[in-house]
Amino acid sequence: MATKQKLFMDACKKKFKEEPTDISTKYYCFGGWKQSKSKVEFQKTAEAIAKKRGIPMLNEDIGVPLGQRSWMPYQLSHTDIYAEADDLHCVNNTAIQQAWDDIRRTVLVGLDSPHQTIERRLGKEVTPETINAYLETVNHTMPGGAVVQEHMAEINPALAYDSYVKVYSGDDELIDEIDPRFVIDINKLFPKDQAEQLKKAIGKTLMQAVRVPTICGRIMDGATTSRHAAMQISMAFISSYKLAAGEAAIADFAYSAKHLSINMGTMMPARRARGPNEPGGIPFGFMADMAQSDRVHPDDPGRAALEAVALGAAVFDQVYLGGYMSGGVGFTQYATAAYTDNILEDYVYYAIDQIKSKYGGFCKLDPKDLDKLMKLGDDINAYALEMYERYPAIMEAHFGGSQRATVSAAATGVAGAMATGVADCGLNCWYLSMLQHKERTGRLGFYGFDLQDQCGSANSFAYRSDEGLPMEVRGPNYPNYAMNVGHLSGYTGIPKAAHAARGDAWTANPFVRVAFADPALVFDFANVTKEIGRGALREFQPAGERSAVIKG
């Protein structure tokens, strides 16, 4: 067992006054909810609202007496930020909302097909100059500007300052000719080896990263993104290439924008009641590509996996399952366990040490050697569970078994993925962790959670479409994952871990990868926990606010 300083120690000492190894403490003597600054604030606010509206509101004295234990803050992992749990709730945290907003308002629309239409069908020339003119026009239309009809209502730019269109390509010569204000520069944003991989994969395709206004996604839903983009792109083509608004070729622009585009999420079945570009349709590999840690910290695959876990926790578990599956409150503590207090951090870096010292390093374990893979999984899972047993402080920090199950399985899954370079091996280790966890402790998570985790070994390598998929393209709507609250964080981290360990520049899609490297995004996808922490400290400035059209 590793003896070096545990990464969760600082958080433990901040949370509890006792030693992290102490089993005993005091309860029922801390003044209840009044220990919490945010609860005091909430109570005061609610009292004022109740008085004003004449209807009772939040009352911290209703229900179970809160604050019977010492109120504990949460450290945003690999940052120095501590926050109250309330400030990590997705309704209270503008950074979490913006992470989701930035994903939902993105659609990737290729320019190759429209350029072919212009050149071959209409006989007009497409040059870097015309592309620049188009980009200037589309950056007028996308936030809500009109170009074709003379008497047109437009969107107030103060509401849509976050909306724009940029392009990128693997063709350096073409990119050199494009106005840099409109370019996501792969060479500047990625380490050289990653840039070369990405450019090779993207080739000469010229791709647009379209960001519709955050406020549009909030008013409508993710399905509006490609429609908003298609309309405004078509208008920009008409204007910049001087086309006839009614000619049949224009339909090709709209068609390509709607149907040859890459949505961040695929449409979900009607029973889920969500259109395209909603979180339930985002493959884990796409979410892993959105997380950008390995772009700025290429030598730290551990951080890459952990940041992907954090993004998955916030968007999939808190925003999506927290709303679609449950609603109300309750998922915050569950999901945030994966990205607070450096507990998963400790387990993941322990796993990395073990992979390097006992398994030959990253990607050296033969993925076909199931016995050795299981040995690794057993080692990492035993370490994770032992830490909970040796340090009652972290056992109490993760006071729900579902938290411990997710975090232990995530560490074990990340280990399997990094050791082999294969995400499905990581997934197999996830399920090994779940079975062993239940057997060791006699407990795991909650009913529905347990069912799925106890049958998952059998589908971890299945590629038949009704039974399984490569982990990179599974997603929250994969049959057994639709109720797996808390798991979707780990499921995002596992494919990321495999590809980060391999030194791959992307996990599932190079176009998605580059699109989220864009520094013009409101949320910084290279520093997920830090951004969520800024949200918790109420320092994060989100887009999509309506104050520009509210007097006073």
Partner 1 sequence: MAYKRQFYPGNSVPAKNRRRYMDPKVKLKKLRDVPMDDVVRIMGHRNPGEDYKSIHPPIEEGKEPECPIRKLVVPIEGAKHGDRVRYIQFTDSVYFAPISPYQRAWMYLSRYRGVDTGTLSGRQIIEVRERNLEIMAKEMIDNETFDPALTGIRGATVHGHACRLDENGLMFDGWQRYQWDAKKKEVVYVKDQVAIPLDRKISVGKPAAAADLKKRTTIFRADGVDMRDDKEVTMYGLRIHKLRTLGGYQPWAFKE
Query: Are 131 and 137 within 8 A, CB to CB?
Result: no
Binding residue for partner 1, selected from 148, 462, 520, 549, defined by CB under 8 A: 462
Quick one: which segment of 98-106, 119-127, 232-240, 462-470 binds partner 1 (CB under 8 A)?
462-470
Q: Is the dihedral of CA 416, 420, 423, 428 positive or negative?
A: negative
Binder among 195, 304, 432, 508 for partner 1 (CB under 8 A):
432
**Number of chain residues interacting with partner 1 (CB under 8 A):** 58
**Closest distance between partner 1 and the C-beta of residue 46, in Å?**
21
SS (H, E, C) 262-321: EECCCCCCHHHCCCCCCHHHCCHHHHHHHCCHHHHCCCCHHHHHHHHHHHHHHHHHHHHH
Q: According to CB under 8 A, which one of 458, 520, 548, 549 is a site residue for partner 1? A: 458
Q: Binding string to partner 1 for residues 490 to 529, with x set by CB under 8 A, is what?
A: ----------------------------------------
d(CA 382, CA 377): 8
Residue placing its CB nearer to partner 1 in the complex, 299 or 389: 389
* Position 300 contacts partner 1 (CB under 8 A): no
- Please identify which of the residues 323, 401, 448, 503 carries the catalytic annotation: 448
Stretch that binds partner 1, among 231-239, 368-376, 515-523, 540-548 (CB under 8 A): 368-376
Does the active-site annotation cover 43? no
Per CB under 8 A, does 39 bind partner 1?
no
In the numeric block, which tokens belong to residue 287?
A: 């979410």
Question: Residue 32 class from Cβ within 10 Å (0-12 exposed, 13-18 middle, 19+ buried)?
Answer: middle
The yes-or-no answer on residue 156 being catalytic is no
Candidates 73-81, 296-304, 459-467, 541-549; binding stretch for partner 1 (CB under 8 A): 459-467
Tokens of 52: 């004003």
- Closest C-alpha to 519, from 105, 188, 160, 93: 188
Ordered DSSP codes for 441-460: HS--S-HHHHHHHHHGGGGT
Q: Is 486 in the site for partner 1 (CB under 8 A)?
A: no
Binding-residue pattern over the window 395 to 414 for partner 1, x denoting contact by CB under 8 A: xx-xxxxx-xx---------
Q: Which is nearer to partner 1, 273 or 455 (CB)?
A: 455
457 binds partner 1 (CB under 8 A): yes
Reference 302, options 232, 256, 353, 374; nearest CA is: 353
Active site residue 194: no
Q: Find the angle CA(142)-CA(261)-CA(496) to the nearest 5 degrees.
A: 105
Pairing of strands 106-110, 206-211: antiparallel
How far apart CA 115 and CA 120 sit, in angstroms, is 8
Q: CB of 449: closest distance to partner 1 in angstroms?
A: 9
187 binds partner 1 (CB under 8 A): no
Least separation in angstroms between residue 22's CB and partner 1 is: 7
464 Cβ contact list (under 8 Å, min separation 6): none
Active site residue 59: no
Cβ–Cβ < 8 Å for 512, 265:
no
Region near partner 1 per CB under 8 A, out of 189-197, 374-382, 480-488, 522-530: 374-382
- Which residue out of 208, 484, 509, 527 is catalytically annotated? 484
Judged by CB under 8 A, which stretch of 6-14, 131-139, 140-148, 387-395 contacts partner 1? 387-395
Q: Give the nearer residue to partner 1 in terms of CB position, either 68 or 187.
A: 68
Give, in order, the Cα–Cα distances in Å from 229 to each of 165, 207, 212, 287. Answer: 10, 13, 7, 21
Least CB distance to partner 1 at residue 13 (A): 15
Do 380 and 351 meet the contact criterion of CB atoms below 8 Å apart?
Answer: yes
Q: How far apart are CA 41 and CA 85, in angstroms?
A: 14
- Span interacting with partner 1, options 17-25, 41-49, 313-321, 509-517, rule CB under 8 A: 17-25
Encoded one letter per residue, x for contact with partner 1 by CB under 8 A and - for no contact, window 50-89 reads: --------------xx--xx--------------------
Q: How far apart are CA 519 and CA 539, in angstroms?
A: 18
User: Judged by CB, which is closer to partner 1: 25, or 116?
Assistant: 25
User: Does residue 552 bind partner 1 (CB under 8 A)?
Assistant: no
Tell me the C-alpha distance between 408 and 439, whole Å.
Answer: 14
Residues 41, 129, 154, 467: which binds partner 1 (CB under 8 A)? Answer: 467
Phi, psi of 74 (to 5 degrees): -120, 130
Contacts with partner 1, residue ranges (CB under 8 A)? 18, 22-28, 64-65, 68-69, 370-371, 374, 378, 382, 385-386, 388-390, 392-393, 395-396, 398-402, 404-405, 428, 431-432, 435-436, 438-447, 450, 455, 457-462, 467-468
Active centre residues (catalytic): 149, 334, 448, 484
